[in-house]
Amino acid sequence: MSFTKHERERLRDILKRAYRGKENLELGELRWDDLRDSLRSADTIQPMPRFLMVFAQFVWQIAPVVSLLILALTGVLLALDLTSGYDVFQVLMNGREESTLSQMLGI
C-alpha cells in the first residue's frame, strides 16, 4: 500500500510542523562554566599553510592519472620478455674468464 498524493501532502505538512515544534522545547541554558572550561582546554587549530593546501589539492587531482599510469606500466613490464635478457647476463657472467676484449666488443 502506498500513500495517495493527498495523503503524502497531509503527512508532510503534519510532520514538518511536528519537527518545527521541537524548536520550542524548553531545555534550559548552556552550562557556561563547563563550556568555558572546555574552551580553555581546547587549542585552536593552526591553519594549514597555503602551499600545503595547494599541494594537497594538486595531489588528489593527479591521483587517478598516476594510478592509471602505474597500472599501465605494470602491464607493459609483465608483457616484456625479461628471460632473454637474464640469460644473456648469465652467459656473460659465467664465461667471463674466457671472454677477451675483442669477443666482448664483437670484433
Contact residues for another protein, defined by CB under 8 A = 1-3, 6-8, 10-12, 14-23, 25, 27-31, 34-36, 38-39, 42-47
Distance CA 8, CA 3 (A): 6
44 vs 57, beta carbon nearer another protein: 44
Q: How far is the CB of 43 from another protein (least distance, A)?
A: 7
25 vs 76, beta carbon nearer another protein: 25
Residues in the chain: 107
Distance CA 46, CA 7 (A): 52
Distance CA 107, CA 89 (A): 19
Distance CA 64, CA 22 (A): 45
Q: How far is the CB of 90 from another protein (least distance, A)?
A: 57
Q: How far is the CB of 37 from another protein (least distance, A)?
A: 10
43 vs 98, beta carbon nearer another protein: 43
- 86: which residues sit within 8 A by CB, 6+ positions away? none
25 vs 79, beta carbon nearer another protein: 25
